[in-house]
A and B are shown apart, each in its own frame.
Chain A
């Protein structure tokens, strides 16, 4: 463009100013640092594919060989016993799947109900003097090791439930003994284990709801509680849902505490004897089965196969939950930023 050129010519050059903008200081560290940091990040993100690939590499032949029956039949405990001596055994993990599903769903129900109340309390209702210690308590609960949960459950919850087992259970349910260490004990202990994770996410989700929303409700004459439940909780719902999904991912993977309190018998709890007996039925989860039999059992090829089968199922479950949680959070983030007009 000629006009620009001529304009440029018209500039009076500044006297006695010597500008040199080419760098003089060599900065080698900069060019090394970046790839090194990238390598760390890529390694951290990729190491999970190693775990997944390894587990599936060994699990797929097992699952193919065992076929559909691996997930549709029972008899797990007997198969594991036989696997120590027999040359070939088929495994049926249905009781373990049932155990995992039931404990997870039960714990999720309790922890969401209790956790939502707790989260509303922390985010909205509590006076500062109560909130801080309570938040510390929730954090502490998250930090208590699962083996300690198991130990306390075994010493407190199990004996308590033992006293509630219907007296005639031996006559009615003949297949397994009904004891205090049961599905219900597992659900109770597991609820408190996953509760802090739900509460933490739920508090964040509730706090992320713009103040103006609930203020709008208050200005319309809604009571404080009504504007929380009618406006704040529904707006935060996707966040709460993501919290519940994350909490259930924890529950599915929990091994030690459940193996201590839930009875440790691979049994499909059934309603056929009536609701009265159901909570006291024993259960064993997939993760517990891995910890219980995977110690010495990993040296036995048959048991190792069975373990990899379980590992693959667990991985599939936790993988899908992670992805579901991510999808919810993404969608929620977009919606909230649309609503409030700000980037999150």
Chain B
């Protein structure tokens, strides 16, 4: 039997189901993200004012005042600062080594790569638990206050502890971003430098790293965002208190005490204030969330700006 088929399009409605699903899925994802942001802004905006930003949290909701997020903002800044300070040099060194000096076939290389992958997969709750337990040992008393009277135990919760644990948590992600940035530098730059008799290390310093610097900065900002957005580690290692150990935290003379003391960040403030936390003041949680989102969006904007900057002089 001979069959004639026309090349003229015939309607096949079923063929539209698949693409329609893809469009729908993309729409749902976009809608979810937009919804979360709009919702937080809508609920939070009316509570964000100067008083909210400039007053400290009031953990006892009985007073009816609620309090603000000054300490949490400062706490977030402290934590991000300590984390970045600890992460940056190590991550830069490691990523340069991974991108430039590694022989991928060596067992050591494979071990380091595996270690980083496993590290990236460790849940932050486990990091937090590890941090409290580890830094409660007596020898780490210098990093937090001392624990119970007469025992050889440290309190194990402080900005320093949280910073160290957070640095370990963000390290693999920052290294990955930095390594990609360094690898993205064209081989021709390295070849050009080598052919001029410039040593590898000097070529890195003078040519490769400057060319990769926007990407490296993006990596740093990625780490800052992770540190600012994490709750589990902060909740466990910074203590569940909303205020800092020292009232006059801004004085330089109390710096050590602040670093060894407990505190809060925006994320723990949100957790504490949410209906699931003890504070149970949702409007404060929304307002805190809005401040946090503004912070993260600005960080992302900086990263995007740096990424777009043309690599010229």
Q: Does B97 contact A37, Cβ atoms closer than 8 Å? A: yes
Alpha-carbon separation in the docked complex, A332 to B45 (Å): 48
- A residues 213-252 touching B (CB-CB < 8 Å): 223-226, 229, 246, 249, 252
| B240 CB contacts on chain A under 8 angstroms | 295-296
| Cβ-defined contact, A256 with B232, below 8 A | yes
B23 touches A140 (CB 8 A): no
Q: How far is B129's CA from A51's CA once the two chains are assembled, in angstroms?
A: 10
Chain A contacts of B147 at CB under 8 A?
299
A131 nearest in chain B by CB position: B26
Count how many chain A residues have C-beta atoms less than 8 Å from C-beta atoms of the other chain: 98
Q: Are A40 and B25 in contact (CB under 8 A)?
A: no
Contact segment of A66-74, A86-94, A110-118, A171-179: A110-118
Task: State whether the Cβ of A155 lies closer than 8 Å to any Cβ in chain B.
Answer: yes
Among the listed stretches B48-56, B62-70, B130-138, which one makes contact with chain A, having 4 or more residues with CB under 8 Å of it?
B130-138
Asked whether any CB of chain B lies closer than 8 Å to the CB of A137, the reply is yes
Cβ of A199 < 8 Å from any Cβ of B? yes
Do residues A199 and B29 form an inter-chain contact, with CB atoms below 8 A? yes
Closest CB of chain A to B191's CB: distance in Å? 18
A151 within 8 A of B: yes
A304 (CB) vs chain B CBs: closest residue? B133
Contact A147 to B117, CB < 8 A, known contacts A54-B133, A199-B29: no
Closest chain-B Cβ to A188's Cβ sits at a distance in Å of 10
Complex: A315 Cα to B125 Cα, angstroms: 10
Q: Contact at B118–A322, with CB atoms within 8 Å?
A: yes
Interfacial chain B residues near A287, Cβ < 8 Å = 123, 125-126, 232
**CB of B156 within 8 A of chain A?**
yes
CB pair B112 A298 closer than 8 Å: no
- Contacting residues, chain A, for B148 (C-beta < 8 A): 299
Q: Is the CB of B118 within 8 A of A151?
A: no
Query: Bound complex: CA of A52 vs CA of B122, how far in Å?
Result: 9
Q: Restricting to B258-298, which residues have a CB under 8 Å from any CB of A?
A: 267, 270-271, 274-276, 282, 285-286, 289, 292-293, 296-297
A269 within 8 A of B: no
Q: A138 CB to closest chain B CB, in angstroms?
A: 7
- Assuming the contacts A148-B36, A229-B18, asked whether A118 and B25 have C-beta atoms less than 8 A apart, the reply is yes
Contact of B293 among A36, A44, A148, A199 (CB under 8 A): A148
B interface bracket (residues with beta carbon within 8 Å of A) = 35 or more
With known contacts A46-B115, A255-B125, A295-B236, A151–B286 Cβ distance under 8 A: yes
Q: Is the beta-carbon distance between A45 and B128 smaller than 8 angstroms?
A: no
Residues of A within 8 A of B (CB): 27, 29-30, 33-34, 36-49, 51-52, 54-55, 58, 113-118, 120-122, 125-126, 130, 133-134, 137-141, 143-152, 154-156, 192, 195-196, 199, 223-226, 229, 246, 249, 252-256, 259-261, 264, 287-288, 290-291, 294-296, 298-299, 304, 307-308, 311, 314-315, 318-319, 321-323, 325-326
- Residues of B with Cβ closer than 8 Å to A? 15, 18-19, 21-26, 28-30, 32-37, 39-40, 43, 89-94, 96-98, 101-102, 108, 111-130, 132-134, 136, 147-148, 156, 168, 171-172, 175, 199-202, 225, 228-232, 235-236, 239-240, 267, 270-271, 274-276, 282, 285-286, 289, 292-293, 296-297, 300
**Listed A/B pairs (26) with beta-carbon separation below 8 Å:** A36-B93, A37-B96, A37-B101, A48-B115, A55-B126, A117-B25, A118-B25, A121-B22, A125-B19, A133-B30, A137-B29, A145-B228, A148-B36, A151-B286, A223-B15, A253-B122, A254-B123, A256-B267, A287-B125, A288-B125, A290-B129, A291-B125, A294-B128, A294-B236, A307-B129, A318-B126
Identify 11 new A-B residue pairs, CB closer than 8 A, beyond the known A115-B29, A146-B230: A39-B93, A44-B112, A44-B171, A55-B130, A137-B33, A144-B36, A151-B282, A256-B235, A260-B271, A295-B239, A307-B133
